[in-house]
Amino acid sequence: MHELHYTYGLIDEDSKREVRRALLKAVALPGHQVPFASRDLPIARGWGTGGLQITLALIAPEDVLKVIDQGDDESVNAVNLRRLIAQTTGVSLTAVTADATVIQTRHRIPEERLRADQILVLQVPMVDPLRWVEPNLERATVMHGEADYGRMWVYMYESVVRAGDLRIATQYPVIVADRYLMDTTPIPRWDVPKLHQADALFLFGAGREKRIYAVPPHTSVAPLEFEDVPFRVEYTPGQRCARCGCGDSFLTSHAVSDADGATRWVTTCSDTSFCAARQAVP
Amino acid sequence: MGYIAARGGTAAILNAEVLVEHYRSRGGTPPLTLDQIQHQLRHAVGRAMHEGALYAPHLAALAVKQAEGDSIEASFLLRAYRATLPRVMATLPAHGRLMQCARRISAAFRDIPGGQLLGPSTDYQIRLLRATLARESDDDIARIATLVEGFAATHADGGIGHFPKVVDHLRAHQMVVPVPTATDATEPFDITRQALQFPCPRSARLQALAQADTGSLLTYAYSSVRGYGDAHPTLAELRYGHLPIAVAHPVDGSAVWIGELEATECETVSKAHSVRAGDAAPRFHLGYGFTYGQGEVKAISMAILDSVLNQVRSGGLSGESGPAADEEFVLLHSDGIEASGFTAHYKLPHYVTFEADLQVLERAKRHAATNAGGRLGRALAAAFANAAADEEDGDA
C-alpha cells in the first residue's frame, strides 16, 4: 500500500471554502447559528473539531498560532491540536498571546485584551442555550427566528428562586447585538464581559453540532440578568494567584505537595502564559 | 513543591502512542496482514465501512488493525480519512434489483418469485463453540472450498444471481404507500456537505441511518417493536450480494459502470392499520435499510426506523410513539463516532468549568443555609412539589 498524502490544512479545499462561507454569514449575523456540514477530522467529536475546522479553513502560512485548553498552552488537548495543525500547515507557533494572529481555545478567553488583528477561535460543545428549555431543534429554530426567549427568562427566574442566584456556571447565555440569544461556550462568567465591544473577532465552531457563529468586533454582548439580580463574574475579594500575585484574573485550584509531603490547595491563574509573563517581570 | 495538575506535554502524548503500539504487538505473535483481516474478519471490516461511511475494504482492514478490533475506533479512522478526499461526483441511483445476490429471504411470503436463497448465514446454526477452529489448517480450508464447488454442481443455476424484488410485487398490487422516488437527475441530500436540519428530507435520514452505529440503531428499533412504539414490521425482503455502481458519463450522460459494492439491503412493511387516516385505499408503509458488507441486524433496524419515521411524517402512526418515532432524537444520537467522541471528551481537563461550578455550588449552599428564598421561594417550592405529586397520581 502506498503512503497516504494530505493536503495543506488537511481538509480538501472545497470543504475549507464552505467553512469560510459559513463564517462570512456568521459575521454578518452576529450570534446567529449558521449550519455547516462539518467534516470528520482525525480528532474525536467533542474534542475541538468545530474550532479546528475554522482554524484550518482560515489559517495562512504567514499566521502565528496559539492553542490553549483551560487557558493552558501545555494542556494535553492543546498540545495535540497544535501538533495536528503544525503538521498539516507548518505555521509558526507561539504561547505568547500578543504574538499570535490566530488563537484556538477551549473554555477560556485570554486575560490580555485582544487586538483588532487577532482572531479567537472558540471550541463549542453545546451551541444553543435554548437546549435547556427546548431540546427539539426544529422548535428551537423557530424560537430563535421569532426572538421568542420567554421560556429562557422563566428558566433564569426559577434558578434565582431556587438557588438565590442565576445558577449558571459556564456557557452563560447572552444576547448579541440586541437580537440573538447565544451560548458563550463553557467559558466562565469571568470571560463573558470580554466579548462585549471587543477589538478582536470571535469565531465559534461546533463540529458535532455542525454550527458556526460569531461575535464580530465592536458588537454588543449582554448577559441575561434581572434588574435586582445582576450578572456577576466569579470573583472573591482579596483573591490572589499563588504564582504571579495577580488579583484580577480567573483562578483555578491546584493541589500542591509541601516539602514534608502534606497536600494543600492553592489557586493560580488559569491563563498560564499571562501568569508566566507576569512572573517574568521583576 | 510540585503541581499535580495534569499538563501532559508533547513527550507524554508521543510516549502514549508508542505504548499503544507496544500493547498491540507485545504478545509476540506474527503481525496480522491486511488480507487476513479483510477476508477472515469480514464483519469487522464491513462494520468499519458502513459506520465509517466509506467503501474501501482494504483501508477498512487497515483501520481494524490499527484500532485493535475496536469497531467505533476503526470506523472513526475511516471517516476521518474520508474527510481528506474531495467529492468527485454522485453515482447514479443503485437499484437493489440489479444486485448479484448471494442471499435473499422474505418473511412475508413462503414462495417468492425467484425463490428463497439462504446463502451464507448463521441464522440456523447451533451456536456452539467449535473447538476444531482453534486448530484450523490449510487442508481444512481446501476441504471447505471443495464442498462449495459441490453446491454449484448440484444446483445448475449456482444459486447466485439476479432476483425480482418482493416489494415490486407489493407495489404492483397497490399494497404500499408510494415513497417519493428521486429521479436519476436528482442529487440526493448529502449530509457530508450540508448540516442535517429538521425537518430533513428522507434521503438525509437514510444517509444518517446508514452511517449510524449498529448498536444504537438496534436499540431504537428494538425499543419500538418491544413496547415503546408500535412498529410491528414484516420483513418483505433481505438481500445480500454485490451491487453494481454506475456514474453518468460527463459528456453524454449515459451510465458508465465503475464497479460493485458488497452490500445488504432490507425492506420492511408496517402493519396494516398504520394507514393514513381517511385514505381511501389502506396500504402498508415501507421501510428501507442498507449497509455495506453483510450488516443484517443494522439493515433490519434501519428499515424499521425508516418505516416508523415515514409513518410519523405522513401522520399515519397509530398507537404508542416512543423515542424511535422522534426523528431528531434518533438521528442526532445514533452516530457512533459523534456519540463516542463527545462522551469520551469528559476525559479532557475541565478545571475551568469545574471551578466555576464550585462557585455556583457555594452560592447555592449559602442560599439554602440562609433560606433566602423567602415567602415567594417557599410558595414556589410548594407549587413544584404539588405539581410533582399530581403527575404521580396521573401515572397511577
pLDDT at B5: 41
The whole-number average pLDDT for the span A58-67 is: 96
Other CB atoms within 10 Å distance of the CB of residue A206: 27
As for how many domains chain B has, the answer is 3
Cβ pairs A/B, distance under 8 A: 197
If one compares B231 and A97, the residue with the highest pLDDT of the two is: A97
- Which chain A residues are closer than 8 Å to B309 by Cβ? none
Cβ neighbours of residue B154 closer than 8 Å, sequence gap 6 or more: none
pLDDT at B4: 37
* Shared-domain flag, residues B194 and B295: yes
* Shared-domain flag, residues B361 and B266: no
Q: Scanning the structure block, which residue is given the C-alpha cell 447572552?
A: A174
Name residue B2's beta-bridge partners. A257
Residue B287 has φ and ψ, to the nearest 5°, of -135, 145
Measure the CA–CA gap between B288 and B300, rounded to whole angstroms. Answer: 8
Q: Is B373 on the interface with A (CB under 8 A)?
A: yes
* Shared-domain flag, residues B65 and B180: no
Measure the CA–CA gap between A6 and A9, rounded to whole angstroms. Answer: 8
The whole-number average pLDDT for the span A133-139 is: 91
Q: Is B345 on the interface with A (CB under 8 A)?
A: yes
Q: What angle do CA B50, B56, B61 make, to 5 degrees?
A: 90
* Shared-domain flag, residues B175 and B319: yes
User: What percentage of chain A carries pLDDT values higher than 70?
Assistant: 99
DSSP state of B180: P
List, as ranges, residues 84-103 from A with C-beta within 8 Å of B: none
Query: Would the CB atoms of A136 and B359 count as touching at under 8 Å?
Result: no
In a domain, B87, yes or no: no
pLDDT at B84: 86
Chain A residue at shortest CA distance from B343: A46
Give the E-state strand segments of B229-340 in sequence order.
Answer: 234-248, 255-269, 286-292
If one compares A164 and B254, the residue with the highest pLDDT of the two is: B254
Looking at the predicted structure, is the pLDDT value of residue A91 above 70? yes
If one compares B85 and A142, the residue with the highest pLDDT of the two is: A142
Residue A263 — very low, low, confident or very high, per pLDDT cuts 50/70/90?
confident
pLDDT at B63: 98
Cα-Cα-Cα-Cα torsion A261, A266, A269, A270, nearest 10 degrees, comes to: 80
- The last residue of one of the domains, among B316, B342, B368, is B342
If one compares B296 and A262, the residue with the highest pLDDT of the two is: B296
In a domain, B370, yes or no: yes
CA distance B202 to chain A (A): 16
Residue A6 — very low, low, confident or very high, per pLDDT cuts 50/70/90?
confident
Element (H, E) at B381: helix B374-395
Measure the CA–CA gap between A207 and A213, rounded to whole angstroms. Answer: 12
In a domain, B131, yes or no: no
In a domain, B145, yes or no: no
pLDDT at B128: 87
- Which chain A residues are closer than 8 Å to B85 by Cβ? 12
Q: Is A252 on the interface with B (CB under 8 A)?
A: yes
pLDDT at B381: 67
Query: Would the CB atoms of A187 and B352 count as touching at under 8 Å?
Result: yes
Measure the CA–CA gap between A282 and A263, rounded to whole angstroms. Answer: 29
Give the number of residues written for chain B. Answer: 396
* Shared-domain flag, residues B369 and B331: no
List, as ranges, residues 182-241 from A with C-beta within 8 Å of B: 186-190, 208, 210-211, 234
Q: Is B150 on the interface with A (CB under 8 A)?
A: no
Give catalytic residues of A, as residue numbers.
Answer: 31, 241, 244, 269, 275
- Which chain B residues are closer than 8 Å to A76 by Cβ? 6-8, 12-13, 348-349
In a domain, B379, yes or no: yes
Instruction: Single out the residue of A10, A170, A186 nearest to residue A90, CA to CA.
Output: A10
Looking at the predicted structure, is the pLDDT value of residue A148 above 60? yes
Element (H, E) at B73: helix B71-82
- Which chain A residues are closer than 8 Å to B87 by Cβ? 14
Name residue A68's beta-bridge partners. A105
**B156 CB burial (10 A radius; 0-12, 13-18, 19+):** exposed
In a domain, B148, yes or no: no
The whole-number average pLDDT for the span A148-168 is: 86
Q: Are A229 and A164 in contact (CB under 8 A)?
A: no
Q: Are B260 and B240 in contact (CB under 8 A)?
A: no
pTM of the predicted model, to two decimals? 0.83
Query: Would the CB atoms of B355 and A40 count as touching at under 8 Å?
Result: no
CA distance A137 to chain B (A): 7
pLDDT at B2: 38
* Shared-domain flag, residues B101 and B36: no
Measure the CA–CA gap between A217 and A28, rounded to whole angstroms. Answer: 11
Task: Write down all domains in chain A, each with its CATH number in brackets.
Answer: 13-223 (3.40.50.11310), 235-282 (no CATH)
Cα-Cα-Cα-Cα torsion B81, B83, B86, B87, nearest 10 degrees, comes to: 110
Other CB atoms within 10 Å distance of the CB of residue A38: 29
Residue A174 — very low, low, confident or very high, per pLDDT cuts 50/70/90?
very high
Q: Is A125 on the interface with B (CB under 8 A)?
A: yes
pLDDT at B8: 58
* Shared-domain flag, residues B283 and B377: no
Measure the CA–CA gap between A272 and A276, rounded to whole angstroms. Answer: 6
Q: Are B209 and B305 in contact (CB under 8 A)?
A: yes
DSSP state of A199: S
Q: Are A151 and A159 in contact (CB under 8 A)?
A: no
* Shared-domain flag, residues B338 and B358: no
List, as ranges, residues 108-127 from B with C-beta within 8 Å of A: none
* Shared-domain flag, residues B72 and B168: no
Query: Would the CB atoms of B80 and A42 count as touching at under 8 Å?
Result: yes
CA distance B178 to chain A (A): 26
If one compares A41 and B370, the residue with the highest pLDDT of the two is: A41
- Which chain A residues are closer than 8 Å to B381 by Cβ? 162
The whole-number average pLDDT for the span A259-276 is: 89
Collapse the DSSP code of B17 into the 3-class scheme (helix H, G, I; strand E, B; otherwise coil) and give the result.
helix
- Which chain A residues are closer than 8 Å to B62 by Cβ? 1
The whole-number average pLDDT for the span A222-245 is: 92
* Shared-domain flag, residues B204 and B311: yes
Domain that holds residue B377: 352-383
If one compares A261 and A180, the residue with the highest pLDDT of the two is: A180
In a domain, B290, yes or no: yes
Name residue B238's beta-bridge partners. B105, B266
For A52-98, give the DSSP string. Answer: HHHHHHH--TT-EEEEEETTBTTSHHHHHHHHHHHHHH--EE-S-GG
The whole-number average pLDDT for the span A162-175 is: 83
**Which residues, given as ranges, of chain B have pLDDT below 70?**
1-8, 152-160, 180-186, 272-281, 316-320, 371-381, 384, 388, 390-396
**Which of B3, B351, B359 is opposite residue A70, by nearest beta carbon?**
B351
pLDDT at B284: 84
CA distance A148 to chain B (A): 19
Residue A109 CA neighbour count, 13 Å, CB half: 28
Dihedral angle sign, alpha carbons of residues B53, B258, A5, B293: positive
Chain B residue at shortest CA distance from A168: B360
Measure the CA–CA gap between A138 and A124, rounded to whole angstroms. Answer: 20
Q: Is A270 on the interface with B (CB under 8 A)?
A: yes
In a domain, B201, yes or no: yes
List, as ranges, residues 28-67 from A with C-beta within 8 Å of B: 35-42, 44-47, 49
* Shared-domain flag, residues B73 and B110: no
List, as ranges, residues 172-191 from B with C-beta within 8 Å of A: 190-191
Query: Would the CB atoms of B195 and A37 count as touching at under 8 Å?
Result: yes
Measure the CA–CA gap between B2 and A269, rounded to whole angstroms. Answer: 16
Amino acid symbol at B343 = T
CA distance A62 to chain B (A): 23
* Shared-domain flag, residues B224 and B287: yes
Chain A residue at shortest CA distance from B362: A163
